[in-house]
Structure 1
């Protein structure tokens, strides 16, 4: 769900837009004051609104969206916008003081193809945090072909602080490129110093450019926005498909507004009770496992086009050692940038989000180009997509939004020396390939500890007593949100059924699995849950 620093790599987990498709608020630093958990107010759970019953929110709950035909954006990838409608939702910046200021939330709607049998609206979120729901619908309309498009108005939105919804902005495109072209040092002490410098630069830039927004972009505020959107769409209950980080958003919505839940699918689930360190550790182990399965498949099934040798027992290590070696021997690319070790790992991890059909062939080709052809273009292109960089060198808001939302969802204290030792020992035992060079020094600081404010959010079990039955979906080979997280989320919810997809890749939606597709259709259209314990083969 979040970006975690571990050794020399970043794991950006829970963004699925790119895998499904394979493809302006400025204030100065003084506006955000450091605070303890109790002083942030509406940035977290301390200020709980009464939703539509709160008279202060009447203007927002009473609004009507002015839908209009979507127009192509010259700065966005091409998309088939035929029949799509765009609009904007107004929401309070601060739910504790709704009259003070408002934000615009960008919307897109794909109207039901069979309006005479329309069930209602289906609001979707692709993950992140910071992923664009507008892009998911606008560029991925084929994902909804069939019953979902026929029976629902499919609605995508850019969560506050991201995309076209008052995005958080921090670093420039040039600053991002410059960072990517320099690997973090191998020496733990030097690596720590560079990371601290980068954290300071990022925090200062975010506070200077978007300080007004930072306390108010957390997921709980976005969950409250979802309820305003539900009302504006004319739906008595929210029907929702959340993928990856979107499962956390959906869970918090159910916690805040259990009586307003309709049919909720939480796919590629995040465990809201896991702390940042636990989540990070599980993700890293998940990517190690996926790398090993990819390498084994590469050698055994695709030997003629596999650059990892002929021994399944050493294939994954050969890939990892090669990526590590890029630290000293970066590769040239066509646009003049170099493929560094950190970029090579990012490009590899991005393709491990997919499965044997949609991504592993591309990873084989990228590693072959690098290891045999001595060119880094394909791995760099994968890393660019992962980081939201287009061919012209412009970055989306994803990375800045991701950091800001993650920190608004809760800072984490540095682990005790004992726990840091335990984590490193576990990683060395279960993920030795992707944690080469990791040391206890990498865990001397907590997440967001230098951020300009302190969020009151804490990891906790979400019960959502009083909600309708919720469908939780987990994939056994998911590296980014491992299957155990889906089990834990479903177990914690008061009314939930767990559906299992047996297979590789992050998330089950959009993978052409007929068993999964049938279960989604039956639940969303008629409310029919799959039988407990249902497993869909890959």
Structure 2
């Protein structure tokens, strides 16, 4: 939600997408930045619409449910044989020294519209890292890194080290690019130059001018998506992704689904359990969202989550890392000092080696990316990056991380993640704008609990529906997912998670008919790959043996 007068809250609020996009580095043990696009300050025109949410009590979505494998029209899809072959060369994987020699790639054929299986179909990109111990193989473990917009194919490649051990020994690790993302009929809207311009834009401070520009960006983006991807947009929501996942389960020969979903990937898993409860095996939902919460509440709480993480980072910088901290000697003033510097980039942008300038929007985008990581390596990298910027007057590191978060490669090309993020969000939620009272309460809460990120926030910033002007209307609404009849589910939450606050994991777990909540005490987004032995052991015991941790278990 790029903005203008209230840059940071808009940047975060409009960027919200059921927990955000987790890139392939998100849950690695080193917790590199650029981990979740939803709060990464995505700055395509998609992010310019003001945040909004329903105020009425959510009710279950009245969708027509295809009958899955029992539907004769769907049997050809469920019965297909995937042709697995060597994965094509990947320069990024080669640069990261990822061994793809044992991995296999393929395609899954699925209907564009499940209500009309005889109509047009699309192919989804797949990857499989076969079980290391085939004689002990239990089946497949489907994985999704989050988003909407994250690539499951890239997750399997980049997470190869994190899956080593029990999980990879016993399972084929299988990732897919959900429809509308990656190599699976990706949503296309803007070109690279348009994305560059929007990412670099700080916009006017005048509220009326800011509102007018924001409205124009939103309208232009919706029109561009309609022109380039209009046929796809009504069919890329999470419910159809869950249906694709059931087809994939059957096509790889698994009777039950074993699944690891992170961030927004937890919503995919929850919708799958609602849609196909009898097909659930062992589902791990890590960094969960609350599917019943009003969108505005989720957005506001995410902004507050990043504010608290930013404050904790600043205090840690001054108190525990004084020699390398550029934020002064006062722990109480450190966060504001950093925020003032980042705000000041609007008028005094930093130079970079490629000739672009780092203004306030790009600067904050980078900082938000770092906050997805933990208090060890990610916070250390943020200290060094701020020192380069604040003391050295250079924006190279900030720009590199902002680019990574925005999906921009070194050649200036953008991935489809940000555009898929908004398109899937709008396919998942057709809720109206909040009431004037709800908007006012949201602003008051932000001003009270996130004064740095929500500086100068106004009611106008949150008064419109985030999908106003979108080309189609979705039937989906927020609701509690019970998943009656599903196998026991493991929900995992991290106490210091800024992108999907811990309370969301609590509420998702409480909503299910049968779920156990596992708690990781620490910083960063998601528990998988955090290097926490207690978490790793709990995952392995549940996924391989079906043994859930005791209620109330906390891994510190």
Could you state the TM-score of these two structures normalised by the residue count of structure 1?
Answer: 0.94
Larger mean CA deviation between 438-447 and 261-270 belongs to 438-447
Give the corresponding residue for 2:40: none
Cα distance per residue 1:133-177 (max 9 Å; x no partner): 000001221110100110000001000000000000001011000
Instruction: Find the residue that maps to 2:348 and give its secondary structure.
Output: coil
CA distance in 2, matches of 1:360, 1:153: 34
Give the corresponding residue for 2:150: 131
Q: Report if the CA contact (8 A) 2:85-2:104 is conserved.
A: yes
Give the corresponding residue for 1:88: 107
Is the counterpart of residue 466 in structure 1 residue 485 in structure 2?
Answer: yes
Cα distance per residue 1:503-538 (max 9 Å; x no partner): 00000001110000000000000000000000000x
Is the counterpart of residue 105 in structure 1 residue 124 in structure 2?
Answer: yes
Larger mean CA deviation between 45-54 and 164-173 belongs to 45-54
Return 5+ residue gaps in structure 1 as ranges: 24-43
Bigger RCO (CA 8 Å, 6+ sep): 2
Q: CA offset at residue 19 of structure 1?
A: 2.4
Cα distance per residue 1:392-426 (max 9 Å; x no partner): 11111101111111110013322111111111100
Q: CA offset at residue 55 of structure 1?
A: 0.7
Q: How does 1:145-184 map to 2 (within 5 A)?
A: 145-184=164-203
Q: How does 1:59-74 map to 2 (within 5 A)?
A: 59-74=76-91
Is the counterpart of residue 58 in structure 1 residue 90 in structure 2?
Answer: no
Q: How many residues align?
A: 515
Query: What is the alpha-carbon root mean square deviation over aligned residues?
Result: 1.4
Q: How does 1:28-47 map to 2 (within 5 A)?
A: 46-47=63-64
CA distance in 2, matches of 1:45, 1:173: 38
Is the counterpart of residue 290 in structure 1 residue 309 in structure 2?
Answer: yes
Is the counterpart of residue 360 in structure 1 residue 359 in structure 2?
Answer: no
Q: CA offset at residue 74 of structure 1?
A: 4.9
Q: Report if the CA contact (8 A) 2:27-2:527 is conserved.
A: no
Q: Which of residues 7, 21, 34 in structure 2 aligns to 1:15?
A: 21
Q: Report if the CA contact (8 A) 1:8-1:185 is conserved.
A: no
Could you state the TM-score of these two structures normalised by the residue count of structure 2?
Answer: 0.91
Instruction: Find the residue that maps to 1:359 and give its secondary structure.
Output: helix
CA distance in 2, matches of 1:184, 1:350: 21
Q: CA offset at residue 192 of structure 1?
A: 1.1
Cα distance per residue 1:180-238 (max 9 Å; x no partner): 22203222222111111110111011000000000000000000000000000100000
Instruction: Find the residue that maps to 1:91 and give its secondary structure.
Output: strand
Larger mean CA deviation between 171-180 and 186-195 belongs to 186-195
CA distance in 2, matches of 1:19, 1:466: 32
Q: Report if the CA contact (8 A) 2:93-2:158 is conserved.
A: no
Give the corresponding residue for 1:30: none
Q: Which of residues 434, 441, 449 in structure 1 aligns to 2:468?
A: 449
Instruction: Find the residue that maps to 2:377 and give its secondary structure.
Output: coil
Q: CA offset at residue 358 of structure 1?
A: 2.7
Q: Report if the CA contact (8 A) 2:81-2:251 is conserved.
A: yes
Q: Which of residues 438, 441, 444 in structure 2 aligns to 1:422?
A: 441
Q: CA offset at residue 77 of structure 1?
A: 6.5
Is the counterpart of residue 209 in structure 1 residue 215 in structure 2?
Answer: no
Q: How does 1:271-350 map to 2 (within 5 A)?
A: 271-350=290-369
Q: Which of residues 199, 204, 211 in structure 2 aligns to 1:185?
A: 204
Q: CA offset at residue 76 of structure 1?
A: 6.9
Return 5+ residue gaps in structure 2 as ranges: 35-60
CA distance in 1, matches of 2:319, 2:502: 25
CA distance in 2, matches of 1:120, 1:266: 19
Is the counterpart of residue 267 in structure 1 residue 286 in structure 2?
Answer: yes
Give the corresponding residue for 2:57: none
Q: Which of residues 385, 393, 401 in structure 2 aligns to 1:374?
A: 393
